[in-house]
Amino acid sequence: MQCTNLQERLPASIAADHEELWVSVLENLKDEYGLATFNSWFTHLSFQEIKDGTLKITAPSKFIRECVINNYFRKIKQLVSDIDPNIKIIDLRVKQNRPSLVTKEKKPSFNDNSVIRVEEYESSTLASNLDRKLTFDNFVVGNSNKLAFMASKAVAEGRSNNPTNVLYIHGAVGMGKTHLLQAIAEYIGNNQPNRNVAYLSAEKFMHQYILSLKNNSSLGFREHLRSLDILLIDDIQFICGKSSTQQEFANTFNALVESGRMVVISCDRSPYQLELDGRTKSRLAGGLSVEIKPADFALRYEILKTKANMLNLNLSKDILEFIAQSVTSSIRELEGALNNLSLYANNFGMELNLRNTKEILKDCILAHEVSVTVDKIIEVVANFYGVTAKEIFSKSRESKYVLPRQVSAFISKQLTDKSLKDIGQALGKRDHATVIYSIKKLEERMANDKSVNEDITKIIDMIGAR
């Protein structure tokens, strides 16, 4: 039976007859869940009163109370609200036994922690916490994050085969962990609205918990979280060392896992390095733990290309390659570099080229400067010519491998203090005479081919040595 028709089923005296409201709720629960479920759980609930916007009902045991709260509470609230929107709080507590002769009965207080202040947590939906731009569709996948992406997508689509119901994603700051957690919530919100999901940063979890203690509504906070199908907690490392918040998280986490719900955690370190209680740490470590590793050049380039398109920023290939090679610490800093360029292009009408890009980003590039090594030179040269380092090291005499090998030797001699012998060892264990010959042949080519000089200049710029 549809909830929108509830009021039609009630007598005109409903405002005065509060108990009739509860009878109507029970009838609708029977229609919704069937007689077997109704007899197992709802017939045990007893109406007490409606007062000051609070519906007070009791359960005969803690077990029945927790089952109703975890599985049917939202439906009860919906039915009650459809009949009387003025009821904002549902107080479901365990019925007190008759006091003994020697014990003074404690008068129940309906302002204590057992009051479930649902209205405070109904507004805490996933939509209010999400950046709608962080979706699976615009998450750029590469070798370093492919496993984390696949595991997250499986959770979102409800096809995860993880028997522990725990997905733990870890990696350095700015690697895309938040993007994946929010993408899970965004996907479920759009495609599976019946699944109850919440995304919280660790700081927000801590803030909400402290706020619930101050408002005398901590039970409502707990029961809201434990009614979820999926809980997503971002940057869990921030609750370590905060004993009360840490314990509250552990209790919530364990309750969800034990009831078969899904928990997805992100962190900047492996679960073994967390300062949590042994039981919680063991469960985190026993779940599916995947690491997002630093992005390689190819992935950084694709991320820049995708994000630039999202910003309607027209950047040439040499600019994208320069940024991808120069900013290596995190995806977040790549985005920061693009935002700076977008500011200059859109606000000042600047036409971006490699020269002014380097000027705009000079502080960012300076912060990421690293010492130039032969290995770094080989990596940049390989990416520039579209070959692999292994192919540069090979004995092949094909021109597509010979030129990158010669350029690597030439630039290594120019930019490092390594001996010719050391450079030869780095280039596939070649001797110093071979290195001398390679450099000589390249210099002859440079004298006759202007494009080779231009390529070497670009490569040196990409290395960040100028």
The count of other CB atoms within 10 Å of the CB of residue 134 is 18
Average pLDDT value over all residues in the chain: 82
Which stretches of the chain score pLDDT less than 70?
1-17, 96-129, 367-371, 464-466
Per-residue HEC secondary structure of 179-245 comes to: HHHHHHHHHHHHHCCCCCEEEEEHHHHHHHHHHHHHCCCHHHHHHHHHCCCEEEEECHHHHCCCHHH
Give the pLDDT confidence score for residue 113 in this predicted structure. Answer: 34
Give the pLDDT confidence score for residue 371 in this predicted structure. Answer: 66
Domain ranges in the chain are 3-96, 126-292, 297-367, 374-463
CATH code that applies to domain 297-367 = 1.10.8.60
Give the pLDDT confidence score for residue 5 in this predicted structure. Answer: 46
Look up the CATH superfamily of 374-463: DnaA protein, C-terminal DNA-binding domain (1.10.1750.10)
Give the pLDDT confidence score for residue 464 in this predicted structure. Answer: 61
> What's the token pair of residue 64?
């029945």
pLDDT digits (tens, 9 = 90+) for 421-454: 999 999 999 998 999 999 999 999 998 888 888 8
Domain 126-292 CATH assignment equals 3.40.50.300: yes
Look up the CATH superfamily of 3-96: DnaA, N-terminal domain (3.30.300.180)
Contact 313, 345 (CB under 8 A): yes
13 φ/ψ angles, rounded to the nearest 5 degrees: -90, 20
Contacts of 338 (CB under 8 A, 6+ apart): 304, 307, 308, 311, 313, 323
Predicted model pTM: 0.57
pLDDT digits (tens, 9 = 90+) for 345-377: 888 888 899 999 988 888 877 766 656 789 989
Give every strand in the sheet of 262-267, ordered side by side.
197-201, 230-234, 262-267, 166-171, 288-292
